[in-house]
Structure 1
Amino acid sequence: MSLFIRSTRSWSAASRLPNSSQPLWVAPAACLGLFLIVAGVFLISPESAQANDPPGSVEFFENRIRPVLVNHCYECHSAEADEIGGSLLLDSSDAMIIGGDSGPAIQPGDAAASTLVSAIRYESSEMPPAGRLSDEVIEDFEAWIKAGAKDPRKTKAAPVTMRSTIDLDEGRQFWAFRPVQSSLPPPHPFDGSRGAIDQFLYQSLSDVDVVPNGFADDATRLRRLAFDLTGLPPSLELQRRWLSNPSWANWTRIVDSMLASPAFAQHWARHWMDVARYADSNGSDFNATFHEAWRYRDYLIRSFATDRPIDEMIRQQVAGDLLPAMTDQQRYDNVVASTFLMLGTKMLSERDKPKLELDVVDDQIDTVGRAFLGLTLGCARCHDHKFDPVPMDDYYALAGIFKSTVTLKGESQEYVSTWNRVSLPTSAEHRDAIQEFQSSLQSIEAKIKSADAQWKQAQDRLSGNQAGVVIDDSQATKVGTWKASQYTQPFVGVGYVHDDNSMKGTAEIRFEARLPDDGVYEVRVSYTPSSSRAAKIPVTIETAHGSRTVRLDQRKVTIAPMWSSLGEFEFKSSSPAVVTISNEGTSGYVIADAVQFLDVDHAPKIDPNVVAAAESAKAHLDGLRAEMKVLQANRPLPIPQAMAPSDRPTAELTDSPVHIRGEVRNLGPVVPRGFLRVCSSGDAAMEEPQGSGRLELADWLTDPDHPLVARVFVNRVWMHLMGQGIVRTVDNFGQRGERPSHPELLDAMAVDFMRDGWQLKPLIRDIVHSAAYQRSSQYDADAVQRDPENRLWWRMHRRRLPAEAIRDAMVSAAGLLNHTPTVNLMAGHKVLVSNNNSNSTAGKIDGIQVPRRSVFLPIVRGYLPPEMTALDMADPDLLVGRRPTTNVPGQALVLINSPTVNEWARTAADNVCQQEASFEDRLHRVYQLCLQREPSAEDEQMARDFFAGHPDSASRWHAYIAAIFAATEFRFLD
C-alpha cells in the first residue's frame, strides 16, 4: 500500500505528506468543486489553522503526528512491514503503549519517560535512521504525549514477541550439529585405492558412473606435493632423485622429509594466520604498531613444526594466559598463543569506550565462531540468528565471557586506547640483571638530581655577578624565522631562540642598548655550546667609529659556562649600541640568547671563586650524565611482553545483558555466561565460572563430543590440499553454507583425527598418500557432464598458488631465498607505523624485496605490497578461511612491470648463464628452476624463435625468465 493511500484517512493528514509521485485522477464534473476546495485551503492557510490545534486534540494528532509516523516510521513499524524493527508497532494507539523490545514506546502524560521521544531525539537510539527529525516535529511529539497522547487509531495491536523462538531440538537435526559418527568405508575397494579416503570417494563416483582420472605425471605430482606441504618448489636435487625413482616407497620418504622440514611449519602457519587475521599493525583510524605480534607468528611455526596437538593449540589461543604451565617455555607459549584474541583491527580512537568494548567483544565472538565452529555468530548480536539455531541469548552468554576479559587497557594518548600486555617468563640471570640495572639507575638519578641543584645554585651566584647592560632575546628585534626554546640550560631570562638550522641567509636578530656613559665596553654574547652549533656566525657591532663584523664559534665558549667575549669597543651614549647576529653563510644551529655590555673602566670584576665553583659544578654534572649514558647503553633488555588478554579482577567479572538491536545502551535481561545450546547437551550456562569463563570455553570447544570443531579443522586441511573443502564454505557450516559432498568421509577423517591425538601431520599424510590426491587435473568431457564442478574429485582441482608461494618461488629461482627466520622486522617502528606527518615510518616498511620467506615479512594494514594484493593475498582486516582466486591480465602486468620481480629475473638469468654453457642446458635449467619440469618440444622451439641467434644474450634470458614468472603456469598447480 502506498504512503498516499495510507494517508487518506483524513484530508488534514494528507496535507502534511510530501507530494505523491502518483497522479491524482479527478472526474471532470468535479473539477470546479475541487478548485474551490483547493482555493479555500490556500486562502485559509493550513499551517495557521493547524497552529491553533491544541496538543490534546484529535486534529493535532491528525495534522502533526500521524503524517510523520506514516512518512518516517510505518516502513519498519507497521503491520504491513516486511520485518518489524525491534518488535515495535506504531500503527495503532494500543501498539504504541504495548511497545516492543525496549518496552512501551510512549508513556501518555510523561514525554521524558517515553522511549519514542528519546529515540527521535537521537539519545537512546537514532530513529528514524535516515536522518534526525526537525526540532519542531520533536517538540510536537513531546507536546502531544504531555497532553495525554490522544490517538483515534483503535486497531487492536497484533501480538509481537520480543524475540523469535528457535527450536533447538529441530536445529540439532541439521547435519553440522549432529554428533560426529565413525563410518566404515565401502567394503569393496576399487583398483588403485590407497586407503579409506579413496574408498569413500569411489563410492560416490560409481554412483554416477564416473571413472576417475589416472595419476598425474611424476614431475607434476612432486611439484604439487612440494608447494602444498612447504609452499616452495622442489629443489633441483629433489627433482633428480624423484624422477630417477618415482616409487611408492620414495614418495612416502619425500612426504616424511617435507613434513619434518622448517618450510612445512612456516607454510602451514601462514594458512592459520589468514584465519587469525594476523597483522603487525592495527590499521583503522589509528594504525598503531603491533610490536609483539611476531611472537604469535613464531608460536604458530613452532607448534606446526613439533606437531603440537590442535586441541591444545585451540585451548592456548582461547585461554592460554589462564592455563597452568610446568616450564617457562610452556608458560611463554600459552600466553603468546592468546594473542589470537587481540589481532583484530580496532577503532582505537573511538571516544565512546563502551561501544569500543562491545565492538571488540563482537570481533572476538565472530572470530572464535568462524575459526573453530564454522558459524557466523556475529549475526546474533542484534537479533536471533536468521538462519542458524543461535538465539541472541547465546551470543550474549559468550559476550559475558569476553566482557570479563581485559583486551584494551589504558590509553597511548588522549582518547586513544591501547591493548593489554602480559609479561613473559625470562631467565633468573635476566631478572637479576634488570634488578641490578634499576638499582644503579636509581642511584645515579639521585646523584644527578643533587648535582643539578648545585649547578643551578652556582648559576644563580654567577648571574648575580653579572654587571653592565644585558639585553635579552625577548627585547631584541627579529627578522626571519627564529624558534623559541628552553631545551638546553643555562640561559638568560626564560629561554633563547635559534634558527632551526634552516633558511640560511634569511634570519638576523638585532640587540640594541642605550649605554649610560661614553667609553669602552666589552661586548659578550650568551649561548650554550654544542657540536651541533654553527662555527662561523657573522656578528656585527655598531660602534662610535662605524660597524665591525666578527666571527663567532658557538661550538665553544670563552667564559664558562655560557658567555663568549666579542672584544672591546668604544660607544657613545648619544647613539644606540647595536649587536646583530645573522645566520648568513652558516652551517649548524645559530643560537641567540642575550648580549652584555660591560664598562671596562668601571665594571666590577666577576669573583673568580664563583666562576670556579660554577665550572666545577658543571663538570661534575656532565660527568654524571656521561655515566648515565654508559649505563643506558648497557641496559639489559626489558622483560619480554606479549599482546595478550587477561581476566578482569574478581569484582569486575560480569555476565552480559542482552543489547537490544546490538546497541550499547539499550539493555535487556542479563544472560549467564555460557556456550551455544545447540552444540551442548543439557544447560549450556556456566554454574560457577572460573574467572572470565574462557577456560571453560576452551574445554567446551575441544570436547571430543563437540559436533563442529574437528569437522571444521579437518575440512580446512582438505581444502588446502585438494583445492576445495568437502564443505566448500569452509567458514560457514550453517544453513547458508554448502552441504558436505561426502559427509561420511568428513566424519571418518574427523574421528581418526581426534583418535590420533588431534595431530596435523598424520592427517596430511593420509590425504597426500591417497590416489585422489595424485590424480591428474586433465579435462574429461564425459566426467564433466556428470560432475561439472568436480565435487566428487574424479580429477584434481587446478589451483592458483598463494601469493606468498608465488613470491617465494621467484626468490628461490633467483637463488636469493634466505631460510634464516626473522625475529621482528617491525622493531624500528614507533607507536604509529603510519600517520600523516613527517615522522611517518610508513616508507620504511620492509617490502617484498627482503630475501626472506614471505611469512616473515611485515603485514602492515593499509600498506600491503601491490604485487601481493594483486595475487589475492589475504586481507588482514578479515578472517579468511579460503582466499579468493582471480586470474586476470592485471596479475601478469603487475609481475612483469614490478622492478623487484625484474631484478629477481635478472639475477636468475645471470646465475643460469654462469652455471650452464650451452643453450640447451640453460633452457632445461630455467624450466627446472621455474616450472619444475623439462621443456617440451614446443617450449624448445618457442625459445629458439625468441632467442633468434642470440643464445648468449643476458638481456634475452632475463626477459625470458621474467615472462615465465608472469605466466599462468608459474602461478598455478596442476
Structure 2
Amino acid sequence: MEKITMPTFRPHQRWMPACLLALLWSSTPAAKEPAESVAFFENRIRPVLVEHCYECHAADADEIGGSLLLDSSDAMLVGGDSGPAIKPGEVDESPLVLAIRYEASEMPPKGKLPDSVIRDFEQWIAAGATDPRNQVTAGVVKRELVDIEKGRKFWAFQPLTSVEPTTQSYDESRGVIDQFIGERLRASDIAPNSQAADETRLRRLSFDLTGLPPSIELQHRWKLDPSWQHWNRIVDEMLDSPGFAEHWARHWMDVARYADSNGSDFNATFHEAWRYRDYLIRSFASDRPFDQMIRQQIAGDQLPYDTDAERHDNVVATTFLMLGTKMLSERDKTKLELDVVDEQIDTIGRAFLGMTLGCARCHDHKFDPVPTSDYYALAGIFKSTVTLKGESQAYVSTWNRVPLPTSKNHREAVRQHERAVQTLKSEIATAEKTLQDAKSGISEELSGIVVDDSQATKTGTWKESTYTKGYVGKGYVHDNNAQKGTAKIRFAADLPSNGPYEVRVAYSANSNRASNVPITIETSDGIVTTTISQRKIDTPPFWRSLGTFDFKASSPAVVTLSNRETNGYVIADAVQFLSTDDLNKINHPEENAHKTAVHARIDEAQKKLNSLKQRLQKLVKEKPKPLPMAMAPTDRPTSKISDSPVHIRGEPKNLGEIVPRGFLQVCSGGDAIIANPRGSGRLDLADWLTDPDHPLVARVFVNRVWMHLMGEGLVRTVDNFGERGERPSHPELLDYLATSFVRKGWHLKPLVREIVRSAAYHRSSEYNAASASTDPENRLWWRMHRRRLPAEAIRDAMLAATGTLSREPILETMKSHGVLVSGNNGNSKAGKIASVAAPYRSIYLPIVRGYLPPMMTALDAADPDLLVGRRPTTNVPGQALVLINAPEIKDWARQTADRVLNSREGLEERLEFVYQLCLQRSPNENDKRLAHRVFAEDPQSPDAWQHWIAALFAGTEFRLLD
C-alpha cells in the first residue's frame, strides 16, 4: 500500500472538512518516525490538534476556552488560566494528556479520542514535545507570570511608614489628624465648615459610639456644659458603656458574615453561633487587642491558656471560620470541602487584608499580584483543618463541634444522668421482653381454633413485622399504608363440627391504624360484610370480636381482610374461632387456672413497664444543662495534614502541582512558605497576619474604624485595597493611624477616642457651594458626611423612645429550633424566631438566613450571606412607607405617646420631651407652629400624639445622622 504523506496544516486551513482530515489521518499506517522528530509531530500530532482543538483553542477562534491556545509551541508551554498545557518529558504531569485521557477535564468534549491517538501524544511529550510551530501566533500576547517584585511597589503592599505632618499648627487643630487634613485643605484652598451645633454633635457621638440616642439626662447635662473637657468625659463614659461593645460588635459581625442559621439548600440551625456574638461583645467591652482577636479567630483552639475562661474564648472565637453559608447537601464531598475552604480564604482575604482572593482559585488573580499557587498555599492550611464533620442525615454534612470548659460538678452531673438514663432504658427493654413473653404464653395456650397470618393466603403486598409487641405467633403483617385496594389476606379454618362460633381478629391497636378495615366472613348462611376500626381493641391484649356466626364442618370457615379505601395501616395478625365450649372455659377462669396465671403475669409486667417509662419521663425532664459546645474547627490528625495540589480551574479532580503551605508572597518580606508548619498552619497564618510589619492588616482595620466614624473610609473601597480598589485620599494619615494603632497595642478605644476628639469629627455637614466646587465628593473632609443610621440603630432608637428597650442579652438564641430552621409559619414545630417586636437590642435578635425581617431589609441591614464591610446606603420612599405602615412601629409610636402623656403636662413640655426622645434636640419655631395647629382641637388626644410621633419616626431626620 502506498504511503500517504500528511500535509502541514496551518490555522488558516481549518476550513478543510473534518471528514477529510479524519480520512487522511485514519489512512496513515503506524508511524515509523521517531517520536522526537518533526515528522512525528506533523503526521501524528498537528492533524489531531487542528481537527479537535483549534475550534476553541486557536487565535482566530470565536471564543478562546480557558485563555488556552494550542496553535503554537510557545502558547502550549505558557498555557492558559490553569497553567501550561504540556510539560515536555513529563507525560503524567501534562494537563493536556490528563484531559484527552478523560482523567481530569474531558477533551475534546464531543467524544474521547482513540487509544492509539492518546498513545501518540504520550510518546510525543515523553520524547520532549518537538514542535516546529516555534512562533507565537500573530495577535496573541504571551501570558505573563505574576510579577511579585513589581506588585510589591503598589501602595498597599509598601511597608507602613510613620510620617509627621509638615505643618505643625492649624487653626482648628486638636491633634495630628487635623494637621494631616488641614494640609490638604489648605493646599486645595478649601475653607472647612465650622463646628456643628452642640445637639448635633452629641447625637452624632452617641449613635457612632453606642448605636443609641443620648439619654434625656445626658442631653440636659451636655446642654448645661458643652465644654471640651465635658466632651472628653462623655467620650470616656460611652467607651466604657455596654452600648459601645454591642454596637461595635455588630460592625464586626457584618464582616464575619454572622448568622444563626446556614441558609442555602439546607437551612440548618446554628445553635451555638450566639457564643461568638457574645465573645465579640466581651472583646470590645474589655478592649481586647485586635491582634489577639485575629489570633483567636484564626487559631484560637491552638493558643495557650491559663484559665477556663481563656480557653472558652479561644475556642469560641474560631466560630469566625464556620459562619459562612455552605451547600451542606452537596453529595460531592471533595467539592464541598473545596467550596468551604474557598469561602474561608475569601473571607480572611477581605476581612483582614482588604483583598479579593477567591478568583485565584481558578487562575492567577487578574489584577492583583496573587498567583494561583499563593491561593493553594493558603488552601493547604484550611484543607488540613476540620470544618465539616459527620452528617445530620443521609448525604447532609454538618459542622465540627468542640467541647467547651465547664465545672467538674456539671460534667459529673451530666455523666450521672446519662448513666441513670441508660440503666432505665436497659430495665425498660427487659420489662418489654418480659411482657412479650407473658403475652406469648397466651398465644401458646389460645382457646378454639386459631389461624395465624403465617398460615393465611396473601394477595398483594404485605410487610412482615414484630415492631409492636404483643402478637400471636412469631409476628404480624401490615399493608405499609400503601397501594390501597390491592392487598387482601384470607384466613381459612376447618371446623370440627357444625354450629355457632364467635369469630375474633387479632391486631395491635394504635392511632395510625385504619378506622375502616373491610372484612368478609363466609358462613353457612352466606357471606357477611363488616367494617372495624383497628385504632382500639375490645378484648385485651389483642382481640376484637366480629360476632357469632353459623358454620358447617363440611366447608372451610373463611375470614378475609382487605385494604380497600382504608385510611391508615391495616394490620393482620390472626383469626380465632371459638365454639360454645371454648367460650365457657374462657368465661369460667376456675376451669383454666393456667390462663388466669398468664393474665396475672401480663398485668404485672405491664404495670412494671408503665412505672419504668414514667420514671424515664421524669428523669428526662430533670436533665441537667448539656455540656457547652462550640461550632469550631480543629486540626486534622497529623497523618491527614498535608499541602494542597493546585486544582486546575478550581475543579476537584483536576490536580496540578503540590504547593507548600504558606502565605501571600506580595505581603511577605521574606519567604512566604511555612518552613515547619505547626499542625494545619493556622497558628502560623495568625502570626503572619498579626506581624507588626504586615503592610495591610492594620491599614485595613483602622480604615474600617474611620469609615464608621467619619462616613467614608480613607480608602473608600474598605474591602478592596487592590488594584481595582480606590486609592487612599490621605495615605500619610492612614499610615499614621495604622502605625499608632499597632504601637499602642492594637487597642480600638484609643483609636476611636483620637478620631472623635478631632476637629474634623465635629464639623457641620452643611453644604458649601464654594468648597463643593473644588471637592464635590468631600474627599478632603471639609465637612462631615451626612449618613444613614444603621437599621439596628433606627429600630433601637424607636424602642428607646418607648422607654421599654431591654438591655438584657438573649442567650441560646435558637434553643427552641431543631436541626432545621422552620418555615416560620403558624404550624411550625421547630420554634418561632424572635421578631423585631421583641424589646431587645437588635444585636440580640436571631439572624436567620432566608428570613430577614422586611423592616430591617428595607433599612439596609447587612446580608448575612456576604461579608459586608460597608453597608449599602439607600434613602428611598419605600423606607418611609415601611416606617409608617409596619405594625410594630405603630405600636412603638403608641407606647411613646402614652409615655409622653403620662409623664409631662402641657403642649410645650410634651413637645420638648417628644423631640428629645426622637430627634435629640429641642423643637424649632416651625415645629412648634405646626404642632399648635395639629393639637389645637385636643392636645390630650392619644391618637394625635401617636400620629405625630409616627411621622417623626418615618422622617428623614430620624434616620439620618448629621
TM range (shorter): 0.7 to 0.9
Contact 2:21–2:51 (8 Å) recurs in 1: no
Answering whether residue 110 of structure 2 is matched by residue 134 of structure 1, we say yes
**Over residues 584-626 of structure 1, what are the superposed CA-to-partner deviations in whole Å (9 max), with x where a residue is unaligned?**
999x999886654322314665622222222222322332222
- CA shift at 1:817, angstroms? 2.0
- CA shift at 1:886, angstroms? 1.4
**Over residues 230-270 of structure 1, what are the superposed CA-to-partner deviations in whole Å (9 max), with x where a residue is unaligned?**
11122222222222332223222222222222121111111
- CA shift at 1:633, angstroms? 2.1
Contact 2:561–2:572 (8 Å) recurs in 1: no
- Residue 156 of structure 1: aligned partner: 134
* Structure 2 SS opposite 1:135: coil
Does the C-alpha gap of structure 1 residues 425 and 111 become closer, same or farther in structure 2, counting only changes over 3 Å? closer
| Counterpart Cα distance in 1 of 2:294 and 2:774 | 40
Contact 1:307–1:760 (8 Å) recurs in 2: yes
How many matched pairs? 925
| Counterpart Cα distance in 2 of 1:765 and 1:638 | 42
Q: Aligned partner of 1:745: which letter?
A: L
- Residue 732 of structure 2: aligned partner: 744
* Structure 2 SS opposite 1:422: strand
Answering whether residue 396 of structure 2 is matched by residue 395 of structure 1, we say no
Contact 2:503–2:578 (8 Å) recurs in 1: yes
- Residue 804 of structure 2 is aligned with which of 800, 816, 819? 816
- Residue 31 of structure 1: aligned partner: none
**Over residues 866-904 of structure 1, what are the superposed CA-to-partner deviations in whole Å (9 max), with x where a residue is unaligned?**
221222211112111111111222222233232333332
| Counterpart Cα distance in 2 of 1:793 and 1:211 | 10
Answering whether residue 53 of structure 2 is matched by residue 69 of structure 1, we say yes
| Counterpart Cα distance in 1 of 2:466 and 2:212 | 58
Answering whether residue 629 of structure 2 is matched by residue 651 of structure 1, we say no
**Over residues 174-227 of structure 1, what are the superposed CA-to-partner deviations in whole Å (9 max), with x where a residue is unaligned?**
322222223334453223322222222112111112111112112211111111
| Counterpart Cα distance in 2 of 1:863 and 1:792 | 40
Does the C-alpha gap of structure 1 residues 662 and 555 become closer, same or farther in structure 2, counting only changes over 3 Å? closer
Answering whether residue 678 of structure 2 is matched by residue 690 of structure 1, we say yes
- Residue 27 of structure 1: aligned partner: none
**Over residues 107-156 of structure 1, what are the superposed CA-to-partner deviations in whole Å (9 max), with x where a residue is unaligned?**
99x999985475368651255xxxx743398899769969999x999532
- Residue 404 of structure 1: aligned partner: 384
Answering whether residue 154 of structure 2 is matched by residue 179 of structure 1, we say no
- Residue 274 of structure 2: aligned partner: 294
Does the C-alpha gap of structure 1 residues 331 and 541 become closer, same or farther in structure 2, counting only changes over 3 Å? same
Answering whether residue 312 of structure 2 is matched by residue 332 of structure 1, we say yes
- Residue 30 of structure 1: aligned partner: none
Contact 2:362–2:648 (8 Å) recurs in 1: yes
| Counterpart Cα distance in 2 of 1:70 and 1:424 | 59
Answering whether residue 866 of structure 2 is matched by residue 878 of structure 1, we say yes
- Residue 422 of structure 2: aligned partner: 442
- CA shift at 1:71, angstroms? 2.8
**How do residues 920-935 of structure 1 correspond to structure 2 at under 5 angstroms?**
920-935=908-923
- CA shift at 1:302, angstroms? 1.0
| Counterpart Cα distance in 2 of 1:578 and 1:190 | 107
**How do residues 163-562 of structure 1 correspond to structure 2 at under 5 angstroms?**
164-470=144-450, 488-492=468-472, 494-495=475-476, 516=495, 517-524=497-504, 526=506, 559=540, 561-562=541-542
Tell me whether 712-721 or 747-756 shows the greater mean CA deviation.
747-756
- Residue 667 of structure 1: aligned partner: 655
Does the C-alpha gap of structure 1 residues 301 and 66 become closer, same or farther in structure 2, counting only changes over 3 Å? same
Does the C-alpha gap of structure 1 residues 389 and 83 become closer, same or farther in structure 2, counting only changes over 3 Å? farther
Does the C-alpha gap of structure 1 residues 474 and 279 become closer, same or farther in structure 2, counting only changes over 3 Å? farther
* Structure 2 SS opposite 1:844: coil
Tell me whether 166-175 or 693-702 shows the greater mean CA deviation.
166-175
Q: Aligned partner of 1:911: which letter?
A: R
* Structure 1 SS opposite 2:761: coil
Residue ranges of structure 2 left out of the alignment (5+ in a row): 1-7, 32-41, 587-591
**How do residues 629-648 of structure 1 correspond to structure 2 at under 5 angstroms?**
629-648=617-636
| Counterpart Cα distance in 1 of 2:101 and 2:923 | 74
| Counterpart Cα distance in 2 of 1:455 and 1:551 | 26
- Residue 875 of structure 2 is aligned with which of 860, 868, 887? 887
Tell me whether 917-926 or 859-868 shows the greater mean CA deviation.
917-926
- CA shift at 1:721, angstroms? 0.6
Does the C-alpha gap of structure 1 residues 891 and 919 become closer, same or farther in structure 2, counting only changes over 3 Å? same
**How do residues 842-861 of structure 1 correspond to structure 2 at under 5 angstroms?**
844-861=832-849
Contact 2:439–2:471 (8 Å) recurs in 1: no
Q: CA RMSD in A?
A: 4.6
- Residue 780 of structure 2: aligned partner: 792
Answering whether residue 832 of structure 2 is matched by residue 831 of structure 1, we say no
- CA shift at 1:336, angstroms? 0.2
Does the C-alpha gap of structure 1 residues 305 and 544 become closer, same or farther in structure 2, counting only changes over 3 Å? farther
- Residue 14 of structure 1: aligned partner: 15
- CA shift at 1:693, angstroms? 1.6
Contact 2:492–2:557 (8 Å) recurs in 1: yes
Contact 2:645–2:657 (8 Å) recurs in 1: yes
Q: Aligned partner of 2:276: which letter?
A: Y
- CA shift at 1:532, angstroms? 9.8
Q: Aligned partner of 2:867: which letter?
A: L
- Residue 958 of structure 1 is aligned with which of 935, 946, 957? 946
- Residue 777 of structure 1: aligned partner: 765
| Counterpart Cα distance in 2 of 1:358 and 1:521 | 73
- Residue 726 of structure 1: aligned partner: 714
| Counterpart Cα distance in 1 of 2:308 and 2:764 | 48
* Structure 1 SS opposite 2:759: coil
* Structure 1 SS opposite 2:758: coil
Percent sequence identity over aligned pairs: 57
- Residue 608 of structure 1: aligned partner: 596
Q: Aligned partner of 1:336: which letter?
A: V
Contact 1:50–1:63 (8 Å) recurs in 2: no
Contact 1:111–1:142 (8 Å) recurs in 2: no
* Structure 1 SS opposite 2:397: strand
* Structure 2 SS opposite 1:749: helix
Does the C-alpha gap of structure 1 residues 585 and 119 become closer, same or farther in structure 2, counting only changes over 3 Å? closer
Answering whether residue 930 of structure 2 is matched by residue 942 of structure 1, we say yes
| Counterpart Cα distance in 2 of 1:474 and 1:925 | 85
* Structure 1 SS opposite 2:389: strand
Contact 2:9–2:47 (8 Å) recurs in 1: no
Q: TM-score, normalised by structure 1?
A: 0.83
Contact 1:102–1:666 (8 Å) recurs in 2: no
Does the C-alpha gap of structure 1 residues 724 and 660 become closer, same or farther in structure 2, counting only changes over 3 Å? same
Contact 1:909–1:958 (8 Å) recurs in 2: yes
- CA shift at 1:676, angstroms? 2.5
- CA shift at 1:937, angstroms? 2.2
Q: Aligned partner of 1:74: which letter?
A: A
- Residue 904 of structure 1: aligned partner: 892
**Over residues 315-348 of structure 1, what are the superposed CA-to-partner deviations in whole Å (9 max), with x where a residue is unaligned?**
1001100011111111000000011111111222
Does the C-alpha gap of structure 1 residues 529 and 942 become closer, same or farther in structure 2, counting only changes over 3 Å? same
Residue ranges of structure 1 left out of the alignment (5+ in a row): 1-6, 18-44
Q: Aligned partner of 2:926: which letter?
A: E
| Counterpart Cα distance in 1 of 2:50 and 2:14 | 7
Does the C-alpha gap of structure 1 residues 118 and 653 become closer, same or farther in structure 2, counting only changes over 3 Å? closer
* Structure 1 SS opposite 2:402: strand
- Residue 34 of structure 1: aligned partner: none
